Chains A and B, each alone.
Chain A
Amino acid sequence: MTANLHPHVAALIAAYGRDLGRLTPSLDLDARMERLVATPACEMRTREISATPRRRIAPAFGRWAAAACLGTLAVAGGVIIGVRVERAGLPPMRVTHEPTWPPPDFSMWPTDSVQMQIPAEFDSRGTLVAVDGKDQKAGTRYWVNIVVSNDGTVRIENIVPVGESQHAVDTQTP
């Protein structure tokens, strides 16, 4: 049968076959076979006497079930402990209203403001324009008193000729 094989491979197969041919059943196998022969036929159909035990699903399933049970117990224990700690602790803090805050004059819009005076003169077209205070007077010079609030509004308080009422600036807030 090994005629078409490489001679070396064929020789190895033959040598290995001879080795296997010298193989004899062990005493253990003979003894097991004797026990098998002595087993009543009716018992054969009910007993598990296989040398290679079948794979059992139960151990693996049991491990998973045990792990799931442990996990459930751990979660349940945590919940119970948490509930007890919550019940045994201080009464829950009440939400108290602070009467002094916010103050009655509290406003979300700050009311600080800046007042300033801007020197101005009428130009040739009759328009009041701001001038540099250090410049020589070209005509009647006025103070334009303005108030700039920090909410962005600008208000002109009054316009007075220079020398008449330099500090007549109303500091009212808008």
Chain B
Amino acid sequence: MKTANGEDAEYVARLVAGDGHALRPLYERHGRALLRFSAAMCRSRQAAEDMVHDTFVELMREPGNFDPAQGSVFGYLCGVLRHRVSHHFRHQKRWVTLDDDAHPHTESSAADEIARSELTAAFRRAMLELPLPHREIIALCDLEELPYATVASILDCPIGTVRSRLHRARALLTIRLVSLEVVELPNDLPLPQRGLT
């Protein structure tokens, strides 16, 4: 029985052979996860979808760049996506505000929904104010909950670097949330427990 990674590698091999239809199952399998990662990184939904689209364009144009020995197809796509996002942030100066539909509605009551949306909006703002390396590490480790090893392969760095960068990113995020008065930390809490070391 083939694993998901094995099937993905086969689809990529079909792409290398010129079969463009092999892109569809890859998009159906990884498109949503890539969109979540992209939405956590970008300020607008349109930009996030553009990044996902460009990621698959890149895969379709140069499928031979994927090396199964280096990791999974999803990890490769995440790597391409983060490069696209980084490129986008370097060169794109104008941004549009976050679309309303980037925050899907929940089924909770209206009052809870308003409070939750405000908190989520503040959290998202704090996230987007983080430097790109810290934002992507939180998106991959805390939001996507990927294993450290996978994240290390996506970011092309050692696992120890992932851990330290994640620790630093969480501390920065906590500081930002405190400054936005989204989170209140007890003053007598030791710094390490506040994630501020």
Contact = CB atoms under 8 A, between A and B. Distances in A.
A23 B102 contact: yes
B13 to A, nearest CB: 13
A40 to B, nearest CB: 7
Contacts of A24: 32, 35
A12 B177 contact: yes
A17 interface: yes
A28 B49 contact: yes
Contacts of A22: 104
B77 interface: no
Nearest to A33: B27
B56 A33 contact: yes
B119 to A, nearest CB: 6
Contacts of B21: 37
Nearest to B102: A23
A9 B56 CA distance: 33
B20 A40 contact: yes
A21 B183 contact: no
Interface in B12-28: 15, 18-21, 23-24, 27
Nearest to A55: B91
Interface stretch (B2-10, B67-75, B139-147): B139-147
B168 interface: no
A26 B104 CA distance: 12
Interface residues of A, number: 38
A52 B145 CA distance: 28
B161 interface: no
Contact of B57 (A5, A23, A36): A36
Interface stretch (A42-50, A77-85, A114-122, A135-143): A42-50
B53 A51 contact: yes
A19 B117 CA distance: 10
Contact of A25 (B52, B145, B183): B52
B145 A5 contact: no
Given A15-B116, A33-B56, A55-B91, A5 B170 contact: yes
A41 B173 CA distance: 43
Nearest to A21: B36
A25 B31 contact: yes
Interface string A1-45: 110111011001101110111111110110011001111111011
22 contacts: A1-B141, A6-B194, A12-B182, A12-B183, A13-B143, A15-B123, A17-B143, A17-B145, A20-B39, A22-B104, A23-B36, A23-B39, A24-B35, A36-B23, A36-B53, A39-B60, A41-B15, A41-B60, A44-B57, A50-B54, A51-B54, A52-B84
Given A16-B123, A24-B32, 7 more contacts: A13-B123, A20-B39, A25-B31, A33-B56, A36-B56, A37-B23, A38-B20
The 6 closest A-B pairs by CB, nearest first: A51-B50, A22-B104, A41-B18, A20-B36, A17-B143, A29-B49
Interface of A: 1-2, 4-6, 8-9, 12-13, 15-17, 19-26, 28-29, 32-33, 36-42, 44-45, 49-52, 55
